[in-house]
Amino acid sequence: MKAFVVSKYKAPLQLEEVAEPRVGDSDVLVEVQAAGLNLLDEKIRLGEFKQLLPYRTPFVLGHDVAGTVIETGANVRGFKPGDEVYARPGDHRIGTFAERIAVAEADLALKPASISMEEAASLPLVALTAWQALVEKGRVRPGRRVLIHGGSGGVGSIAVQLAKHLGASVATTASADFVRELGADTVIDYRTQDFEQLLDGYDLVLDSLGGENLEKSLRVLKPGGKAIGIAGPPDPAFAREIGASAAIRLAMTGLSAGIRRKARGLGVTYEFLFMRASGDQLREITALVDGGALRPIVGRTVSFDQLPEALEALGRGGIRGKAVATA
């Protein structure tokens, strides 16, 4: 089958013939009809995650898929050929930029019936990130005040909607006023305004930029508040969660020492989030989509043969919501 392959880090994606996926007893073989493009894909291609996700080249890239089941393993009970599904495959089982992919049953869910394949493919990674940040780590509930950076982007556009659904008062940094349509109560235009000068007393910040933006985010939290970073730096809790080696644990501890120290000094906390695959959580997200609480934002659709150029363009920004490639 044909797939887009990282032959070596920093090199452009190459369209190559690769072996058909091996379908294990607990796997589901999916014909790929659409694949979401994520900045994570581009960072992996550039080698920025080699320490965290040491993929051995060559490998097939891609973290989001929507498609149709064509085969199931002997132990699979929740899916059958013909089902329309979507997923974020687990780490080390990525490869959605291909004609077919075998996905663990535990990572898969039926596609929301109310949206297209392209819209479904835009959701898994960003929706799971938003869910794990706001529901699991943030425990957002009615009356909480939440700041979400990059509200017009892939994660942000879903996180704004989810936070509002959970009953929070939502502020976001964005350059597009359409985020008000998603539920944002306060919109800070990051091009002309400084959110640190305008916001104060927040319970939770979801930061997607890191660096100075993360440091400033700590200062808009009220005592006991929490900043969740999806751009890093990784913290010791995350190192333990992934079972990292002693050397990697030490490195992550060092990388996050400064921001954790600053958080403690302000009476707040910092946690790193690297989302994980979960079919169970996708089913929760499916219910929210079909119930009208969440809607996917697809800002650009390209054909599969345009995928390498579209992926590289992600680093330049400017896309509202997600970019999606279709077969």
Tens-place pLDDT, residues 258-302? 999 999 999 999 999 999 999 999 999 999 999 999 999 999 999
In a domain, 287, yes or no: no
Residues 97 and 153 in one domain: no
| pTM flag (> 0.85) | yes
pLDDT at position 246 is 85
Q: Which domain holds residue 33?
A: 2-122+296-326
The residue ranges of DSSP E strands in the chain, in sequence order, are 2-6, 14-17, 27-37, 59-60, 65-72, 84-87, 100-104, 108-110, 145-149, 169-174, 186-189, 202-207, 221-229, 269-272, 298-303, 322-326
pLDDT at position 149 is 97
| pLDDT surpasses 80 at 119 | yes
Residues 218 and 138 in one domain: yes
Structure tokens at 94: 């990525």
In a domain, 42, yes or no: yes
Per residue in 173-208, pLDDT tens?
998 778 999 999 999 999 999 999 999 999 999 999
Rounded to an integer, the average pLDDT of 313-327 is 89
Find where tokens 């808009």 sit: 220
In a domain, 277, yes or no: no
Residues 102 and 234 in one domain: no
| pLDDT surpasses 80 at 101 | yes
Count of domains observed in the chain: 2
Residues 98 and 177 in one domain: no
In a domain, 281, yes or no: no
Residues 117 and 155 in one domain: no
In a domain, 286, yes or no: no
pLDDT at position 212 is 96
In a domain, 95, yes or no: yes
Which of 222, 205, 265, 274 is CA-nearest to residue 244? Answer: 274
Residues 22 and 106 in one domain: yes
pLDDT at position 241 is 81
Residues 46 and 153 in one domain: no
Please report, for the domain that includes residue 28, its CATH number.
Answer: 3.90.180.10
Residues 133 and 267 in one domain: yes
**pLDDT-based confidence at residue 237 (cuts at 50, 70, 90):** confident
Residues 209 and 231 in one domain: yes
Residues 158 and 268 in one domain: yes
Residues 153 and 215 in one domain: yes
Please report, for the domain that includes residue 210, its CATH number.
Answer: 3.40.50.720
In a domain, 143, yes or no: yes
Residues 141 and 259 in one domain: yes
